[in-house]
Chain A
Amino acid sequence: MSGATSAMGLRGRNYARQYWPFLVPAGVIVFAVIVFPWIFTLYMSVMDWHVGGAITFHGLGNYKRLFTDERFLWSAVRTLYFTALAVIFPMLLGIAAAVCFHRKFPLRGLARTLFILPMMATPVAVALVWTMMFHPQLGVLNYLLSVVGLPMSSWVYAPNTVIPTLVMVETWQWTPLVMLIVLGGLASLPVDPYEAARIDGASGWDSFVHITLPLVWPHIMVALVIRTIDALKSLDIIFVISGGGPGTSSETMNYLLYLEAFSFYDMGYASAIVVVFFVIILLISLLLFGARRQAY
């Protein structure tokens, strides 16, 4: 028996070594469009590199500039503000939606498909429709507010409402992804604990808090990590709906990165932003995955 297993293991290992040719074509492409850009970015971030200008070594100058550049620091604050809101609302709604879609009801498949349309639709196209809905005089949203007797909002046209408004669009767009991940967790739950709880007289809420939540917690953490990172790097809707404005009041780090690279053509500084961005994303992923491990 033990001889047989070791022979199997040996065979498995031998074959494992022969699978590398399958990885070569993809490896070449991944190196060219993913790994090479990382290395090149690191190199550029220590250079003074303006498109069309001379390229000189700049040491840590770009990084030093980051920590004194008020425009960058404010963009970091705004990114955190946007991310906090754009994580909390989709998470709460997404978990609620997953619980709803886990229950059987007529037309559930159709309802679920309609619910995920916002995340599949072309972001630019839906962002354009939202822009028209936010129009201060002719927009349908202000009309609806006035119908229910609420004061009109200036939506994306005022510095203090622009980020919450963008969060609303982001929530509309990405709640479905949270729902899908949590729903996947719910689908894999065992039935027994629920029956036991029901026999013991637990209410629906009790069994949700004490059985469902702990069991789907790993899936909720995965959704949390993915949502946090996606919120940090959200760009399309900000680009189209507010363009970082009014003024700079919705200019997030990712948007500033776009401006530095492709409006000001300051590639060295933009690369330093990319590196810092990368470190932040890595730290948050590690932090959240650490929290996930503790939850087990």
Chain B
Amino acid sequence: MRPHQIRRLFGNIGFGLSVFALVSPAILVFLWMLSLSFKNELDNTAFPPVFIPTHPTWANFIDVFEKNDFVTLFWEDFDAFGRTWFTYPSIGGYLYNSIVVSFSATGLALLVGVPAGFGVAKSKAHKVAALIMIARVTPGLSYLVPLFLLFQWMGMIGSLLPLVITHLVITVPIVVWVMIGFFEGLPNELEEAALVDGATIWQAFRFIALPLARPGIVVALILAFIFSWNNFIFGVVLAGRETRTLPVAVYNVLTFEQVSWGPLAAAALLVTLPVLLLTLLMQKEIVAGLTAGGVKGG
């Protein structure tokens, strides 16, 4: 081999090693989570640690479902005045709470955020966009202090409604931000042609811009859903014992019960699994959305 070929070979090996060094911490933590959740208690408390389960077991996952009300809780939710805000079907529980809160907050945000993104992009109302950016940079807790008092005054604490409302603090800015970028990137010609032909602005939005914006809506939906699903602090403050979302429920397992690692890791894995799968399946959309806006919730 010639010197420059050898140098290139070493360069490639060095490059491969640096990629490996960058990516491996990301994967190893999840692999350790997986390992903990499939080991029995004996292996989990062994030192030196057991890396690959010697007797892989589903027991930890069964434990999560049987002991922790994760999916089996059922009850009705009354507020201070005895009004029912949400009635749970028999497969209630924390999973149900998380699904209701994240889906409602994402759905509502799309409903108002997609037209708003269109309006801002078309009328170039960048001050509105800046206002929304401020919501992105301020701590989520700062909204929680006044909203908590308001919900308390209205007697809503203990139902899912305050959670849905506060999650809008996360989802609405994400949707509006992503949609502004997306509508600004769309060509104007089709819409202008429709307007010239006598369509109303609403028709131009409904029948031309909206179908074209579908990929942008998908990005906004995924990001808003993930950051709502992941949110922890709103739930910690606003959720009662029965209205906990999954992240709060998992945290409470850690603090209030005798900690055994297997079930805890299994619960953690179950909570984050939907998000991990969504990221793996929709990585192109997620990367596009995150790169454009530097979006992050809470």
Contact = CB atoms under 8 A, between A and B. Distances in A.
Given A18-B201, A97-B22, A122-B229, A177 B296 contact: yes
A229 to B, nearest CB: 5
Contact of B22 (A36, A37, A100, A285): A100
B218 interface: no
Interface in A148-178: 172, 176-177
A22 B247 contact: no
B137 to A, nearest CB: 5
A115 interface: yes
B294 interface: yes
Interface string B94-130: 0000000000000010011101101110111100100
Given A37-B143, A118-B29, A129-B265, A22 B254 contact: no
Contact of A105 (B15, B135, B246, B275): B15
Contacts of B124: 16
Contacts of A119: 296
Interface stretch (B55-63, B69-77, B78-86, B279-287): B279-287
Interface string B189-209: 000000100000100010000
A201 interface: no
Contacts of B236: 239, 262
A291 interface: no
Contacts of B125: 19, 23
For the residues of A in contact with B, the DSSP-based class is: helix
A25 B283 contact: no
Contact of A143 (B49, B246, B269): B49
Interface residues of A, number: 89
A126 B272 contact: yes
B115 A25 contact: yes
B138 A257 contact: no
B291 A181 contact: yes
Contact of A257 (B48, B141, B149, B248): B141
A233 interface: yes
B254 A240 contact: yes
A281 B138 contact: yes
A40 interface: yes
Question: Chain B interface residue count: which class?
Answer: 35 or more
B118 A22 contact: yes
Nearest to A130: B29
Given A18-B201, A23-B119, A143-B49, A29 B168 contact: yes
Contacts of A248: none
Contacts of B145: 37, 41, 44, 257, 261, 267, 270-271, 274
A233 B232 CA distance: 14
B32 A133 contact: yes
Contacts of B132: 30
B42 interface: no
Nearest to A137: B47
A129 B22 contact: no
Given A41-B146, A172-B29, A114 B296 contact: no
A125 B18 contact: no
A120 B226 contact: yes
Contacts of A36: 146
Contacts of B148: 261-262
9 contacts: A19-B119, A22-B116, A29-B108, A33-B166, A111-B23, A121-B276, A128-B268, A236-B233, A261-B145
Given A34-B135, A114-B27, A128-B264, 5 more contacts: A33-B169, A51-B152, A122-B272, A132-B36, A274-B142
Interface of A: 15-23, 25-30, 32-37, 40-41, 44, 51, 93, 96-97, 100, 103, 105, 109, 111-126, 128-133, 137-138, 140, 143, 172, 176-177, 180-181, 183-184, 222-223, 226, 229-230, 232-233, 235-236, 239-240, 254, 257-258, 261-262, 267, 270-271, 274, 277-278, 281, 285
The 6 A-B residue pairs whose C-beta atoms are closest, nearest first, are A22-B119, A26-B116, A125-B268, A40-B146, A233-B139, A125-B272
